[in-house]
């Protein structure tokens, strides 16, 4: 890989000359490293971001850092240089991409006890073997491995590797229970496992969970699906990649793909996800544009009648709902008369 400064120069060129409308950068990274005073690091980050054209969601803990951010190329470059000046983060791998606008509503830097919520202590350094994307492709083609998608069900619904086992997980904390079930169904010592997630951080932890259940051949996709898309493309991948920002889903290599999911209402092909407009539901579901407008952004007729229903705003697309103070002031929509 070329030096980071060379890579950033290339990103600048693409952003400002080749793709003039895509003048922002998106950045994802994590690092498991001992941080003695994560609360101090939170303050330092907030001070650095002040008056910069950056939005982000960054978590810091005694275990390390997990971050996603977007901003102008100049400010993203400044952040990378700033954080890599700290010896604890000098080897951190950054996954960069271009976006048309900032993908988070604001700067959010917080302390979090666990970088990956499991409610149990796991030593990430004792996890599986990291596999680069090109070797991962070769391993997929061999057919000798159990391919395991360790993301939540709503993520794998819209995109996944061909033939992957996709557990029905609703939250991160459900994985240890699934690992127990998998160990009971398969022979751990005789079942080599290839596991993957969005950017790699969940595999750092989940691979150790599998090894604790007796699986001694555990491989994890280095840099996750994001890195695979950058280096290999869509080979053996179907659909889009769910991401935890305003975009909700992206093409892993920038080229359009066929939807593999269906609209929750009418069953037509769709890969666009929405949070139900009923604030007491907030269910994430796939919907086509026609049904979304017809159902006022709700997942059911019951939710359309709900008293705490957010106004449906077509111009916002399928961006995650904002807190009230972050929403534009608009007149609330009205449910059809037949539902009133």
Active site residues per annotation: 197
Structure tokens at 195: 């596991």
DSSP 111: E
DSSP 278: B
What does the CA dihedral 5, 14, 160, 216 come to, rounded to 10 degrees?
A: -10
Strands 24-32 and 64-72: antiparallel
Q: Which of 233, 239, 157, 160 is nearest to 194 (CA)?
A: 160
35-43 contacts, C-beta under 8 A, 24 or more apart = 35/60, 35/61, 35/62, 35/63, 35/64, 35/65, 35/88, 36/62, 38/62, 38/111, 39/111, 41/65, 42/109, 42/110, 42/111
Distance from C-alpha of 71 to C-alpha of 86, rounded to nearest angstrom: 21
Distance from C-alpha of 333 to C-alpha of 254, rounded to nearest angstrom: 35
Residue 313: C-alpha distances to residues 49, 260, 319 (Å): 30, 26, 10
What does the CA dihedral 334, 336, 338, 340 come to, rounded to 10 degrees?
A: -10
Inter-residue contact 56 to 130 (CB < 8 Å): no
Inter-residue contact 103 to 55 (CB < 8 Å): yes
Q: Which of 171, 158, 170 is nearest to 116 (CA)?
A: 171
Structure tokens at 39: 């609360």
């Amino acid at each position: 890989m070329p030096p980071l400064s060379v890579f950033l120069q290339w990103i600048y060129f693409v952003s400002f000359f080749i793709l003039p409308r895509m003048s922002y950068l998106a950045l994802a990274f994590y690092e498991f490293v001992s941080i003695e005073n994560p609360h101090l690091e939170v303050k330092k980050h907030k001070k650095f971001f002040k008056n910069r054209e950056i939005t982000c969601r960054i978590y810091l803990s005694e275990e390390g850092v997990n971050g996603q951010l977007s901003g102008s190329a100049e400010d993203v470059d400044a952040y990378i240089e700033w954080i890599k000046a700290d010896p604890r983060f000098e080897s951190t791998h950054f996954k960069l991409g271009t976006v048309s606008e900032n993908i988070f509503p604001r700067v959010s830097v917080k302390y979090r006890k666990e970088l990956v919520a499991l409610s149990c202590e796991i030593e990430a350094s004792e996890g599986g073997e990291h596999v680069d994307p090109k070797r991962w492709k070769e391993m997929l083609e061999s057919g000798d491995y159990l391919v395991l998608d360790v993301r939540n069900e709503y993520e794998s619904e819209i995109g996944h590797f061909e033939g992957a086992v996709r557990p029905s997980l609703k939250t991160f904390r459900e994985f240890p229970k699934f690992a127990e079930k998998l160990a009971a169904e398969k022979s751990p010592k005789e079942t080599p496992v290839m596991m993957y997630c969005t950017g790699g951080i969940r595999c750092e932890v989940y691979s150790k969970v599998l090894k604790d259940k007796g699986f001694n051949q555990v491989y994890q996709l280095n840099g996750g699906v994001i890195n695979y898309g950058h280096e290999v493309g869509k080979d053996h991948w179907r659909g889009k990649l769910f991401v935890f920002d305003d975009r909700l889903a992206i093409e892993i290599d920038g080229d359009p793909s066929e939807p593999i999911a269906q609209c929750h209402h009418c069953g037509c092909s769709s890969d666009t996800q929405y949070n139900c407009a009923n604030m007491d539901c907030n269910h994430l579901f796939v919907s086509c544009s026609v049904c979304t407008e017809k159902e006022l952004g709700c997942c059911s007729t019951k939710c359309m009648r709900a008293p705490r229903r957010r106004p449906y705003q077509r111009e916002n697309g399928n961006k995650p709902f904002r807190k009230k103070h972050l929403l534009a002031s608009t007149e609330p929509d009205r449910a059809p008369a037949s539902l009133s």
